[in-house]
């Protein structure tokens, strides 16, 4: 394969936080006997003293902690290294594309984040100067481009360095933009958001040129749907993934508006027992019931004109690895309309989303679903990730006289919506079950959302939410 590299450094003056700086800060904290978790403001001040470009420092979310520890313990494992590609039908000006990347990076903190451990605290540091260089590679054809993408995805990943970006120039008015990162930082829809922002900035600057026909989703970005779900029609999922780009540019400004709210609603043990028994009777996992309720609440209160699309992505390599360690993994790409959610769609093969989840979670040891709303005539799109690990069912049983040997377990489901700006956290502790909504979106008040979700599932179960 013949390639030519045109690698230039990031923007002039970009000198963000370095690993040596972190070592010095850690030594200073140790001398003062201060931990990062006990005093995040002290740590932030120490970081800014070395690198004024540091915006924030926060503890990792539960799911991020798991991914971080996995990466540290098994750095050669590529299961969680994700690569996405966006095909461009245009002659791309490299400097204009690099400038568009910078615009998108400034708007998306996820892509300026570094992940580190300081004084036994796992942290996410957002740095305005955490800019990865763009590697420009000239390739002979699409096969050569695919080889470059696979090679980029197959390298061990350093979490402190952030994402890797390539621009593959194929000639004849075609190019492919590539984004490679660890799953701790991105998922399918955050990658789509980022690409959408980059393309919008590129087009707004007039860089596409008169002959540009715009951006399309590369086939390598969507071919997973046909491979991963032999029993599910993948065409609607692929079409929805393509269409999602149409509304991405308007999302981030809306998501960043408003004030952050964080509210908790705790269900007492008796109420959770009612809910758990209802889920068991209907062969529905507890998480599935809650996420189904959350999806309906989102549809009714947040984006009333939106339909739902259900999909996720996993590579053949990852699928083989998951199977080799005994984790049976399946994706369920499917487009869901509001009628399907309500169970009133006469054309739907599934009687309802609820029945569909029952059938799938009963049949599969592990399910992973991602529910996303696409933009309608009103409201901004919402990207709603859903994880239901059915193989954990024995751990999720409530303490009960019918199961005297069962111990309660903490159950975290941490979901990122709008590229990290809204979070839903469902948690189990010894004294009950709780729902937390943390949001910076003005249309998504945490307390109201949490109460609405709790009320919906308890109505189904025949119980009531504690006052």
Q: Where are the domains of the chain?
A: 60-225, 232-395+403-461
Separation of alpha carbons 221 and 288, rounded Å: 27
At residue 399, the pLDDT reads: 35
SS (H, E, C) 316-349: HHHHHHHHHCCCCCCECCEEECHHHHHCCCCCCC
Under 8 Å CB-to-CB from 445, ≥6 apart: which residues? 261, 263, 437, 439
Q: Residue 82 belongs to what H/E stretch?
A: strand 81-88
If we measure between CA atoms, which residue out of 466, 362, 382 comes closest to residue 424?
A: 382
Under 8 Å CB-to-CB from 416, ≥6 apart: which residues? 187, 190, 383, 385, 422, 423
At residue 175, the pLDDT reads: 79
At residue 53, the pLDDT reads: 76
Contact 217, 101 (CB under 8 A): no
At residue 255, the pLDDT reads: 28
Q: Which residues pair with 136 in a beta bridge?
A: 6, 167
Q: Do domains 60-225 and 232-395+403-461 have the same CATH topology?
A: yes
Q: Which residues of the chain have pLDDT under 50?
A: 1-14, 36, 189, 209-264, 285, 302-354, 356-357, 360-422, 428-432, 443, 466-467
Q: Which residues pair with 5 in a beta bridge?
A: 137
Contact 191, 84 (CB under 8 A): yes
At residue 438, the pLDDT reads: 57
Indicate the fold that domain 232-395+403-461 takes in CATH. Answer: Chloramphenicol Acetyltransferase (3.30.559)
At residue 162, the pLDDT reads: 74
At residue 6, the pLDDT reads: 46
Quick one: 60-225 is in which CATH superfamily? Chloramphenicol acetyltransferase-like domain (3.30.559.10)
Contact 330, 319 (CB under 8 A): no
At residue 155, the pLDDT reads: 74
Q: What is the pairing mode between strands 134-138 and 164-171?
A: parallel
If we measure between CA atoms, which residue out of 293, 295, 267, 338 comes closest to residue 460?
A: 293
At residue 270, the pLDDT reads: 58
Sheet containing 113-118, strands listed edge to edge, beginning at the edge strand earlier in sequence? 54-59, 121-127, 113-118
In three-state secondary structure terms, 212 is coil
């Amino acid at each position: 394969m013949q390639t030519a590299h045109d690698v230039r450094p990031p923007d002039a003056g970009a000198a963000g936080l370095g690993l040596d700086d972190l070592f010095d800060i850690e030594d200073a904290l140790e001398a003062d006997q201060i931990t990062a978790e006990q005093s995040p403001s002290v740590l932030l001040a120490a970081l800014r003293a070395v690198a004024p470009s540091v915006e924030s420092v926060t503890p990792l979310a539960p799911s991020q902690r798991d991914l971080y520890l996995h990466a540290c313990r098994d750095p050669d494992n590529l299961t969680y290294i994700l690569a996405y590609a966006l095909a461009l039908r245009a002659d791309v000006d490299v400097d204009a594309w690099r400038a568009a990347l910078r615009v998108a990076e400034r708007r998306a903190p996820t892509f300026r984040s570094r992940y580190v451990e300081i004084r036994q605290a796992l942290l996410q540091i957002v740095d305005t100067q955490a800019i990865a260089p763009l590697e420009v590679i000239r390739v002979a054809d699409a096969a050569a481009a695919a080889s470059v993408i696979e090679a980029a995805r197959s390298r061990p990943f350093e979490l402190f360095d952030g994402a890797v970006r390539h621009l593959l120039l194929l000639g004849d008015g075609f190019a492919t933009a590539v984004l490679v990162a660890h799953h701790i930082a991105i998922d399918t829809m955050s990658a789509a958001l980022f690409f959408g922002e980059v393309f919008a900035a590129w087009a707004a600057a007039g860089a596409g040129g008169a002959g540009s026909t715009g951006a399309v989703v590369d086939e390598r970005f969507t071919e997973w749907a046909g491979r991963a779900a032999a029993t599910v029609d993948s065409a609607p999922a692929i079409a929805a993934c393509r269409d999602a780009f149409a509304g991405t540019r308007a999302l981030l400004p809306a998501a960043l508006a408003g004030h952050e709210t964080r509210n908790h609603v705790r269900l007492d043990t008796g109420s959770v027992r009612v809910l758990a028994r209802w889920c068991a009777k209907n062969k529905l996992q507890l998480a599935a019931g809650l996420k189904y309720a959350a999806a309906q609440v989102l549809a009714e209160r947040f984006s009333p004109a939106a339909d739902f699309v259900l999909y996720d992505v996993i590579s053949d390599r990852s699928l083989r690895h998951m199977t080799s360690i005994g984790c049976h993994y399946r994706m369920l790409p499917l487009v869901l309309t509001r009628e399907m959610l309500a169970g009133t769609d006469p054309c739907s093969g599934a009687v309802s989303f609820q029945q569909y989840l029952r059938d799938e979670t009963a049949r599969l040891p592990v399910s992973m679903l991602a529910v996303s709303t696409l933009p309608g005539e009103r409201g901004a799109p919402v990207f709603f990730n859903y994880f239901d690990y059915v193989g954990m069912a024995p751990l999720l049983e409530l303490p009960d006289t019918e199961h005297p040997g069962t111990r309660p377990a903490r159950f975290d489901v941490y979901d990122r919506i709008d590229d990290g700006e809204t979070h839903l956290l469902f948690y189990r502790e010894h004294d009950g079950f709780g729902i937390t909504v943390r949001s910076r979106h003005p249309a998504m008040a945490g307390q109201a959302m949490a109460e609405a979700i709790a009320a919906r599932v308890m109505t189904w179960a025949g119980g009531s939410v504690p006052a």
